[in-house]
Amino acid sequence: MPYRQTASTRKNAENKRDGLLRAARSLVASGGFAAATVAAVATRGQVSVGSVYSYFDSRDGLLAEVFRSAAGHEIDVVRAAVTGTDRPATDRLAALIRTFGGRALQGRRMAWALLFEPVNPAVEVERLTYRRFYTDLGEEIIRAGLADGDFVPQDARLAASAVMGAVSEALIGWLRPDSPEPAPGTLDEIERFCFRALGVPVHDREETP
């Protein structure tokens, strides 16, 4: 009875592969891509170094996939949150800011790794796509808002870029192993900042720190 690629073996292989991806991902989440050495991934994935190479062509490839996977997930969540071109642009932009920012807040190291940590050319290519997604999305929403008169006239693309920068800087720019959690309400405040920047009248906050 010859060996057959049964559902269970394939499932298992994918599990292992996923296990390694998870292992790598968790290492990236806690120490950035730099912490995801092949040996570390293997150890955490409870396999040998050689096994890593059964599932991935190279460390660079593995990291690129980790990036794609993590970034893809982020993108999915954000896309879902801002979906619906019939919604008011302000609504959608708020969703973009809060979703992007909220996710960065939980998983700040990962957010930092995805946005900033230098890794290798393959990952840089992925990063380009990842960053472009946010900027394109932001630009599209802002453009829609501009058309509806929600925002004051401005360069939509640059505004999108600036919005992402404001959010990410405020949330993960100060990332340190022991840096404290941003205060609750930070997200609200950033949202207001961005809306003002776009020219949307923002009602006063209740309490002034």
Say which entry of DNA, a copy of itself, none residue 159 contacts (CB below 5 to 8 A, set by partner kind).
Answer: a copy of itself
Residue 38 found at the interface with DNA (CB under 7 A): yes
Query: How many residues make up the chain in this entry?
Result: 209
Q: Which does 203 bind (CB under 5 to 8 A by kind): DNA, a copy of itself, none?
A: none
Based on CB atoms, which residue is closest to a copy of itself, 10 or 196?
196
- Does the footprint of DNA cover residue 49 (CB under 7 A)? yes
Residue 162, binding choice from a copy of itself, DNA, none, Cβ under 5 to 8 Å by partner class: a copy of itself
Q: Does 7 bind DNA (CB under 7 A)?
A: no
Q: Does 161 bind DNA (CB under 7 A)?
A: no
Sign of the dihedral defined by the CA atoms of residues 3, 4, 5, 7, in that order: negative
Q: Does 109 bind DNA (CB under 7 A)?
A: no
Please identify, using beta-carbon distances, which residue of 55 and 100 lies nearer to DNA. Answer: 55
Instruction: Tell me which long-range contacts 161-167 makes (C-beta under 8 A, separation of at least 24).
Output: 161/135, 162/197, 163/93, 163/96, 163/97, 163/138, 163/194, 163/197, 163/198, 164/100, 164/131, 164/134, 164/135, 164/138, 166/190, 166/193, 166/194, 166/197, 167/97, 167/100, 167/101, 167/104, 167/194
The least distance separating DNA from the CB of residue 131, rounded to whole angstroms, comes to 24
Q: Is 14 in the site for DNA (CB under 7 A)?
A: no
Q: Nearer Cβ to a copy of itself, position 95 or 163?
A: 163
Nearer to DNA, 65 or 139 (CB): 65
106 binds, among DNA, a copy of itself, none (CB under 5 to 8 A by kind): none
- The residue whose two tokens read 């957010």 is 111
16 contact, one of a copy of itself, DNA, none, CB 5-8 Å limit per kind: DNA
Which residues would be at the binding site for a copy of itself (CB under 8 A)? 3, 32, 34, 48, 116-118, 124, 128, 131, 152-155, 158-159, 161-170, 173-174, 176, 186, 189-190, 192-194, 196-199, 202, 204-205, 208-209
Number of CB atoms found within 10 A of residue 27's CB: 21
Cα distance between residue 85 and residue 110, in whole Å: 29
Three-state helix/strand/coil letters over 28-83: HHHHCHHHCCHHHHHHHCCCCHHHHHHHCCCHHHHHHHHHHHHHHHHHHHHHHHHC
